[in-house]
Structures are given as C-alpha cells and as structure tokens.
Chains A and B, each alone.
Chain A
Amino acid sequence: MAHPLTLITFIPLIGMILILAAPAGLVRWYKWIAVASAAAQLVIAAWLYTNFNTGTVAMQFTERYSWIGAYHIYYFMGVDGISISMVLLTALICFIAVFSSFSIDRAEKGYYALLMLLDTGMMGVFVALDFFLFYIFWEVMLLPMYFLIGIWGGPRREYAAIKFFLYTLLGSVLILLAMLALYYYGAVPTFDMTQLAAHSSSYTIGFQRIVWIALFIGFAIKIPAFPFHTWLPDAHVEAPTAISVILAGVLLKMGTYGILRVNFAILPAATHELAWLLLGLIGTINIVYGAMCAMAQKDFKKLVAYSSISHMGYVMLGLASFTAAGINGAVLQMFNHGTITAMLFLLVGVIYDRTHHREIDGFGGLAQSMPIYAGITGFAFFAALGLPGLSAFISEVLVLIGAWQLHPIMTTLGAATAILTAGYLLWCFQRIYLGPLNEKYAALPDLSAREIFMLLPLAAIVIMLGVYPHAILVLLNTSLVHLNQGVLAVATGPALPLH
C-alpha cells in the first residue's frame, strides 16, 4: 500500500469535506461517511500492524517531502515502536466513537465534520516526525475539541470548553518556544525529530534543562499531570459521550507520547537528571491523589475522570524508571488505559442517555433491570482496578517491576493505590448496580445491539492483552529499549540522588 500514513491521517479529512458537501438534513449520509472513513482507518491500521517489522529501530513507512524550504521544514511522516501502538489505538477508539455518536441529535452535520477533523488531528500527531508538522497537528486537534465540547456538551459546557482550550493552548505555546529554541541552538538547524535526536549531544546541559522543563509543562497539561489537571474533570463531565471516549482514550496519551518522542529522544541528559523528580514524583502524586479524589466524587463521570488521572500516573512512573520493563509497561499502560477508559465512558453514556443524570447515589440495584449492562460494567470495573488476567494488570505490573529498582517507595505507593482503586470502584459499583432496585428505573431497557457492538471489541482486546500481551509488547520492545539505552548512555549522575 503506497503512502499508508498519509492515507490513514487524511482519509477522515476527506470524510469531513464529503460531509460538509453533502446536502443538509441527510443525517444518515453523515453517519455512514464517518463510519466509512473510520473503518478505512482501521483497515490501514491493521495492515500497518501486520507489516510492521518488530526487529528494527528505524522509522518505517516513512514519507518525506520538502514543505517550507526556508526553514528546513519537511512533510515527514513515519512510525516506529513508540508510535505504532498509538496509531492502532487511535484508529480503534475513533471507529468506536463514531458509533457512539449516533445518539447525537443536534446539528449532526457540524458534529460529524468536526469529529473527522479531530480524528485527522489526532492521527497526525502520532505519525508526524517533523516537529513543525507535529505542532500543527497538535493544535489542529485542539480546535474541534473546543467546539465539540462547547456546542454538544452538558450544562456548564462553555466554561469547560474555554478552560480546556486555554490550558492546552498555554501548554502548546510553551512547546512552540521550545521547538524554536531546539531549531536555532542545535548543531544543524532542522525540525526533523530524528535528526534532532541524533544531534542531541550538541545542546549544553543548562540549555537542555530549561527546554526540557518547558516541554514537560506543555506535555504535562495534556497528560494531565498533578498541578495542571483541573481541566480534565470539567471537560469530561461536560463533553458528550463520544467525545469523552476520544478525550480519555486518545488525547491523554499525546502528553506522554510527546515526552517519549521529544523529551527522551532529543534531551536525554536532562531527562536522566529531571525525570525522577518531575515524572516519577508527580506520577506517584497523580496515582494517589487521583484515587483519593475519585473516592469522594458524587458524579459517576467525574469519578471515571479522576480514575483516568490516577491511571495516567502509572504511565509517568513507568517512564521515570529508566528500565526496559518500566518503559514498555508505560506504553502498554497507555494502550490499555485507552481501551478500558473508553469502555467506562461508553458505559456512563449508556446510563446518561437513559436517565439524563449521573449522580451515583441516584441509582440502585440496576443489575436487576439491566443484567447484561451490569455484567459488562462489572467486567470493565475489574479491568480498571487491574484484575490479574486482564490487560491493565500486565502494564501495571511491568511499570511497577521496572520502577522498583530506582524508586521502591514510589512503587509501593503506586501498588498500594490498587487498594484505593478497588475501594472506590467497588463502592461505586455497589451503589449503582447492587442492593435493592430503585423503582424509578425498574423499566430501563437493557443494552441495545449498537451499544453491545461497541463494547464487545474493547472487552475482547482487554482479555486478549491480559492473556497474550506479547502481541503489543513485541511491537514496542526494540524501539523503547533503544530509546532507554539512549538516555542511560548519557547519564552522568545517579538517577535518583536521594537513593
């Protein structure tokens, strides 16, 4: 297949143009155009998966054309171990999000067009290898999110939308400054990430520290890391179900992907020096703090949002461990968190579509009126709390076993949070699904075929990766080990000064 990456990135854009061109009112057309483009993406992603060469560290399926000669900017796309899993995840989550959008009943034309633009933006971020192109896709993805939350969201949507936009824009302008600094003060003026990584030794350590921190803040807002996370609960609570699925499923991974692709590859010395403090410590705070806040939430969706913060903390801890197991576990956790949280938000959507409210204490005993729904939610909850045999367990184990050598205290805290997670999830499950049936919801219809069609593939992947994680890990291993060695090679001081 020629130019697979350009195709996979821009098919949704073509979909958008078709939708905009389509005559008004034909909602069915918009839906099937969106489904077709998402399906095409999925097919290409599958092709990429099968043809991906797991042995080499080099970029694969690369495309490189000159774009703006004056500033050495190239239209440079490629995939390696770090980004292939994210491409697969994005294709999958977008495909499912399109189906979950069928319940949108206002201005469908605008909705599906923006959804396709968002899809292009996200896919572009993961395949772009030219920093400028990466930045363009990074911001393009920002715009449809603002409108999708702002127009089709919940009651406080305007506040949540502008807050999301301001936070992420602030982050991205810092990335812009860092990008320019890297361009001007490197050995060779270029935006090509592979070149920047190759010449990473040309930056002085002082310069590396400043740029590293600026980049970290920019990416941390997206993860979201501890002090910058307050936009996530608002954005999630107000966003429609499909957008929450995409926001949690894919957007949060861009932060950690950025840290891997830019901070780790281009500024290895600073990474080795700062990672334990900024990534490790803040990651652990994320884990514990997220779990505690989740415990006290009254709104079901906010609880899931805070659980996302907690789970992304594991990814950060994994990155800060500088071990093959840790980093592999972190990237696998990014993938697993994507699938599991997507399931959780779909399940929240099911309840919200039927009852139009999300207070946990407002329900009770739903298992009796909706047994299948309760069953699948139970499965998703146990996947979320890292039940062994399911996918999240593998990634958490790898992260913690990797992080143990360097940060035994943080690892213990991370592992201890598994108890808190079990606490708030089971307590929430009990209040909604178990106990006496709340007569108000005695007659709720169980899951529709469409809803089941969305949930089953995710459940299958969660089981499959729990039993056979090698399928994804084999993709990641070579590149991540190479990246990790790159960082360790330039390590000067001990990774953890207080050890």
Chain B
Amino acid sequence: MDLGNFASLHFFCPELLLTTATLLIVLVDLVIIDGAYLGAVALITSAGALLLIGVEPASEGAWLFHRMIVYDSFAVFFRVLIALAAVVAVWMSMGSAEVRRCAQGEYYAIVLASTLGMFLMAESANLLMAYLSLEIVSLTSYVLTGILRNNRRSQEAALKYLIYGGVASGTMIYGMSWLYGIAGSLDFVAINHALFAASGVPPLTVFIALVLILAGLGYKVASVPFHMWAPDVYEGAPIPITTFLAIGSKAAGFALLTRFFYPGISRLDVGGGWTALSGVEWPQLLLVVCIITMTLGNLAALQQDNLKRLLAYSSIAQAGYALMGFVLLSNDGLRAMLVYLFAYYVMDAGAFLVVMIVANATGREDMGAYRGLAWRGGAVPAIALAIFLLSLTGIPATIGFIGKFYVFAAAIRERFYVLALIGILNSVVSLYYYMSPVRAMFLGQPEEGAQPIAIGAWNYSLMGLLAFATIALGLYPPPVIAFAARSLHFFAGTS
C-alpha cells in the first residue's frame, strides 16, 4: 500500500532512532568536553536499530513517503546487514588507538549519519532517493576518511576519495538524467513500465545511460574499473572506518545495484529467472566486470606487504565473487549473492579487527609485524586471523566456504561453466596471498626485540564472537540460508 508521510513513520523507527541519536551526540558534544562515553551511545543506538528492525511489524511490502522508500524483505535483509556493520564499526572504533586521538563527538555522529544513509540506500525506490542516500554515505565517508587531523596519509586518502567520488556520482547523475528523459519518471516501477512498454526505447541511449549510472554504483561497490580509489583509501583511512567502508558501504552499494538493475530495469519471469531489456547487454558487461574484478583483485594482492592494502585488494576480489551471483540473472544467483555478502561481512570484519589489534600494539601494518606472532604471546589473534583468512579463501568448515559453495553452485546451475572455473581457479590463487600472513605468523621466527601483543578485553570479545560465528555458521549454515531465501522479495505492489 502507498503510505503518506506520517503513516510511513510507523515503518521507519530504526532510521528515526539513528537520526535522533546523531543529533543527540552533536548536542551533547557541544556541551561536554570529555566525550568518552559517546562511543557507548553510538553502540547502543546501532544495536537498538538492529533490535527495532527485528521488532518491526511483518508486512509483505509497502511504499513509504509517497513511493520514495520501499519497505520489503530485501530491504530488511540489508538493513540488518548494515546495522550489524555499524555495530562492528563502532565496537572497533571504541577499541582503536587511532580513533581515540580524534574528536569523539564528531566521529560517532558522522558514523551514525553514514549508517542512516546506507539504510536509505537499501530501501530507495526512486532515482532521487538513490542519489540522495548515495551522496549522504559518500560525503560522510570522505569526512570519516580524513578525520585523523594531521595524518598525511588520511588527508590524502580523503582528497582522492572526494575527487573520485565526486566525479563518479556526477557521471551517475548525468546518466540518470538521460534515463529520466527516456522513462519520464524517477520512480523505479514507472521506469520499469516505461522501458518494457510496447513502444520500445532506443537501446543505445539506454545502454549509455546505464554505463554512466554504473560508474556511480560501480564506484560504491569498488568493482573494476571503478576500483582505483579503494586501495589508497582503505590504506589511508583509520582501520574502523576502512572496515565500515568494506562491509557497510559495499553492502549498501550491492543493495542499490541489485534494486536498480533487477526490479528497476529487468523483469522477473515465472521460473525464478530474470530477463533484461532486449538489445541492452548490461548482463554481459557485468559478467566481464565480475571476471576482471575477481582476477585483478587476486593478482594485485599477491605481492602486497601492507596488510590493509592486501585486504583492500582482497575485498575487491570478494566483491567479484559476490558479483558472480549477481550476473547469473536468476533468483538462485541473487540468493547466493546475499549468502555470500553475509559471509563476507563476518570474515572481513574479523580480519580487519585483528589487523587493528596488531596495529594498536605495534603501530605497524606490514608483514614484518606479523612474523612469528603466534610464538610471542599472540597465539589467539594469530589463530583468529588464520580462521578469517582461511574463510576468505573458501576452505570448508568456515562460512566463507558456504558462501563460495552457493555462488559456484548457482553458476553451475545456470551453466556458466567458464565463470565457475575462473572463480575456482581464483580461489586457489587467493590461497597463496591469504596464506602469506599465516605463514609469517606461524612458520616465521619472531624478529628480535618484538614484544608480545596485549589485547584489551573489549577487542578480545568481538574477535572471539566473529571467529565463533565464522566456524559455527560454516558448520551449520541453514539459519543464514533461510534468512537469505526469505529476503528475496522485491515489492512492486500496484496499489
């Protein structure tokens, strides 16, 4: 049903909570000097948002705010994922040495604002709302990247991010303007009807518009060829923010990408497959993008010495694996993508967390810091990082394997043999660089004068939780699968 503004608020509680919390933190920060507990407020807020999503009234779908926002199970899935990402990011920030040095109030307020933007990205039903939410997330991310006052790396990363983001989103809006011109409306459902109308549309123009829009969405998801910014920004930004970008904004990017490309400009057939616009070869384009993303991500990561940069390329490659589900044009593929994104969230957050722990203790992010880590008191983080990296490789009994298994199963079901083979070979190659830190930690001898690693209980608990989740969900994945299966419902209700 099509709700007015006030009626929609009923379904909008988590977002409202986030807004009020952001404002509250800004006000409190003005009044009080010492903002130590502001982090706790942010943590409670994001956790509260997660709870509220759970508590929301079950409904098979609704338009909110006069068709600007759509509330359906697909949106719920991503809001849960993003809320989890926010919880992890804030939890890490409270334990991070870097964040402790910058202004707490501004930091946490902007993080919550960014979370809000991601929520909106996941549920936007209108080109305008898509652009607006994307810009909110981008702008907040530029600031968060550059939040470390006099740190050259962070400043430079923020500048690059800003310029790249600006150009990419500008290109996107230009593309959207053409699409608006063709379809005559900003609303996804209207665009869909216009594109599939009997009179037909100029395919070349639509293709150009899609390519330009893809620049914006591709940049957000950091898929090749719009990934150039990612390695530098991931390395420059403080680790909690890098994590937030890697798991939060990337998930939101996938949500928007899926909502735009699937319910937006293609049609669901009866058998669970999707058909794209005739003459507009965006599926083939994205297939090529997916293959290059995987291969380039893995190849470039082979010789990285800085762990953050290695994880940056690894997250590009992981985006490639998730795209594998996306390009299959079938519900099975999308379900596999959702499972993969959830798996990616757990293992990537864990990996960045351990990198942060080591960075906190040694202040270094290169492989040297990890040499012989297991033998000088760092056995637990070493084992945890090993679990996360093996999960990223796709070794069984971890959630990473379940994710990869589903994506390959879907690819083979849809007869994309070459794609499955390339994916498989990529995961074998990825073993080499995922194993290099593990080899350094376990097989290498600690450098002389390397002191043992001290881990605060705060980070220890999160690490334990994520490691347990990686193994437990790897051994018993049905809950994740059921959750993904349930949430593949795009509301395009007529009323």
Contact = CB atoms under 8 A, between A and B. Distances in A.
A and B touch in the complex (CB under 8 A): yes
Interface of A: 67-71, 107, 110, 135-136, 138-140, 142-143, 146-147, 150-151, 157-158, 161-162, 165-166, 169-170, 173-174, 176-177, 180-181, 183-184
B395 A143 contact: yes
A9 to B, nearest CB: 13
11 contacts: A135-B396, A136-B401, A147-B442, A150-B442, A158-B443, A165-B435, A176-B408, A177-B412, A177-B420, A180-B412, A180-B420
A107 B478 contact: no
B390 A143 contact: yes
A162 B435 contact: yes
Contacts of B425: 173
Closest 10 CB pairs of A and B: A139-B396, A136-B396, A180-B412, A173-B424, A150-B443, A70-B481, A158-B443, A180-B409, A184-B413, A140-B397
B397 to A, nearest CB: 5
By secondary structure, the A interface counts as: helix
Most A CB within 10 A of own CB, among B396, B405, B427, B431: B396
B452 interface: no
Given A67-B476, A181-B412, 12 more contacts: A67-B478, A68-B481, A135-B396, A136-B401, A139-B395, A139-B396, A140-B397, A143-B395, A158-B443, A162-B435, A166-B431, A184-B409
A169 B481 contact: no
B375 A173 contact: no
Nearest to B395: A139
Nearest to A20: B383
Interface in B41-92: none
Contacts, number: 72
B136 interface: no
B439 interface: yes
Interface of B: 374-375, 379, 390, 395-397, 401, 405, 408-409, 412-413, 420-421, 424-425, 427-428, 431-432, 435, 439, 442-443, 476-478, 481-482, 485
A110 B442 CA distance: 11
Nearest to B435: A162
A183 B435 CA distance: 31
B478 to A, nearest CB: 6
B284 to A, nearest CB: 23
A229 B435 CA distance: 22
Given A71-B409, A180-B409, A151 B477 contact: no
A447 B396 CA distance: 41
B396 A170 contact: no
Contacts of A71: 409
A110 B408 CA distance: 34
A169 B235 CA distance: 30
B424 A176 contact: yes
Contacts of B432: 162, 166
Nearest to A107: B375
Contact of B439 (A150, A169, A173, A183): A150
Contact of B428 (A110, A147, A170, A183): A170
Contact of B405 (A147, A174, A176): A176
B408 A177 contact: yes
A125 to B, nearest CB: 12
Given A139-B395, A158-B439, A162-B439, A177 B424 contact: yes
Nearest to A137: B396
A134 to B, nearest CB: 11
B397 A169 contact: no
Given A107-B375, A165-B431, A165-B435, A177 B421 contact: yes
B478 A70 contact: yes
A250 B377 CA distance: 34
Contacts of A162: 432, 435, 439
B375 A68 contact: no
